[in-house]
Amino acid sequence: MTTQSATNPELSVANPLTSLVAYLKKHPLQSAITALVIVLLAYVAWGIFEWAVLKSVWNSTDGSLCREEGAGACWAVLQARWRLIVFGLYPFEEQWRSGLACVAIVITAVVSCIPAFWRFQRLSILWIAGFSIFTILMSGGLFGLSFIPVRQWGGLSLTLFVFATVCILTMPTSIALALLRDSKLYFISKPTQLIIDTVRSLPLLVVMFVSAVVLPFGLPDFMIGEKLFRVIAGFTFYVSCYQAEIIRGGIQSLPAGQDEAAKALGLTYAQRMGRIILPQAFKITLPATINQIVIIFLETPLIVIIGFFEVLASGAAAFGTAEWGIAAEEVYIFIGVIFFAFSLTLSRYGASLEARLARSDQR
């Protein structure tokens, strides 16, 4: 086993057939493994192809064709129930608003990946604008749109709403936690460390459950608020504890001379942090931050367990009737593909960013 790259120089000789024969003679074991894996792959791929394409049912209004003997994947469920999966319990006539809101938040996210927008002001304006459009479209009550309470939000747009809110709120909270944790003052850094370590040792589900069910007991009535916002607050706090440690790592990896030079120039704490330390720490931790955003995205569907009608619950409702009861896997595959597409794009973007930062450091 070596760490050489996958492409083998021996294969790039002029005549492919002779070079292939030479390769087979030289590496009989490798060739045997490759052949075996290809045969296995072909077998599995054919099985999936047969199920998903050849024997699949695309049109069946009541799912009866799917229940016939030998039927493959039942994609008809998506055609019949996709609005339920994507929009949840949102009023039927107003679902275009929900769809448009999703598009708005996705566009905001895509635009904020462009380096030209990486200024504090530009990013803030962009996100405040995108988020306002999303909220106005979803909840209405303005510009002649009918008011729709948060309780009726559901499906993919609820998932995106929770995801976007948590991402936005995490940034300031995690910076605050990181600075408190990194403080030179004992009675500030130690209690913060205790809080961060405790939260990090708990599963996210427990934190969500506590903020949904336990928190109302200990809060004065005017602070209890909507359950969804309590869960978002708990989720944000949980993620912030992880993000704070990432930012602190970035701060500590800076050479001590940076802070000392700033001090020697007589800059205040706020100036040192805001102008010298944090901007550099952000640059170093950018790949880890994007990784954290991917994790937030993948953990968001957990709110289904606390009882929200987000995309997994609406998916379960889609196959929850007698006629579509057999199509659970198809619905899960559909939802999985949506998540996979977003998540892979985001993590690939993070990887390319990391490579670019590494290149710019070498220069």
Partner 1 sequence: MVRVTPANEGEAMKTRKYRNILIQVAFFGCLVSILGGFALTANHNLVEQGITSGFGFLERSTGWDPGFTLLEFSIRDPYWWTMLIGLTNTVVVGYIAMALATFLGVFLAVMRISNNPVLSRVALVYIDIIRNVPPILQVLAWYALFSHFPAPRQALQFGDHVFLSGRGLYIPTLNIGDLGLAIIAIITVVVIGLIIWISFAQRFFFTTVKRKLTMVAYSMVTGIVLIALTIFGFMPEDTPLVSNPVLKGFNFQGGLEIAPEFTTILVATMVYGSAYVAEIVRGGFLSVDRGKIEAGRALGLSPWVVFTRIQLPLTVQNIMPMMTNLYVWLIKATTLGIAVGFADMFAVTVSSINQSGQTLEFILLLAVAFWVLNGLVVFIMNRLNDRMQAKH
Q: How far apart are CA 166 and CA 233, in angstroms?
A: 8
The residues that bridge with 155 in the sheet, in sequence order, are: 310
Q: How far apart are CA 227 and CA 54, in angstroms?
A: 46
Q: Does 288 bind partner 1 (CB under 8 A)?
A: no
Q: Does 41 bind partner 1 (CB under 8 A)?
A: yes
Site size toward partner 1, by CB under 8 A:
59
List the one residue out of 112, 114, 134, 73 whose CA is nearest residue 334: 73
Looking at the Cβ atoms of 148 and 212, the one nearer to partner 1 is 212
x/- mask, partner 1, residues 332-351, rule CB under 8 A, reads xx-xx--xx--xx--x----
Q: Is 144 helix (H, G, I), strand (E, B) or coil?
A: coil
Place of tokens 């100036």: 271
Of 116, 185, 264, 322, the one binding partner 1 (CB under 8 A) is 185
Of 7, 12, 15, 121, the one binding partner 1 (CB under 8 A) is 7
As measured in angstroms, the least distance from the Cβ of 349 to partner 1 is 13
Looking at the Cβ atoms of 32 and 125, the one nearer to partner 1 is 32
As measured in angstroms, the least distance from the Cβ of 74 to partner 1 is 13
x/- mask, partner 1, residues 190-209, rule CB under 8 A, reads -x------x--xxxxxx--x
Q: Does 39 bind partner 1 (CB under 8 A)?
A: no
Query: Which class for 345: exposed (0-12), middle (13-18), buried (19 or more C-beta within 10 A)?
Result: middle
What does the longest C-alpha to C-alpha distance in the chain come to? 81
List of residues 6+ apart from 258 with CB closer than 8 A: 276, 277, 280
Q: Does 111 bind partner 1 (CB under 8 A)?
A: no
Number of DSSP helices (H) and strands (E) in the chain, helices first: 17, 0
Q: Does 253 bind partner 1 (CB under 8 A)?
A: no
Q: Does 211 bind partner 1 (CB under 8 A)?
A: no
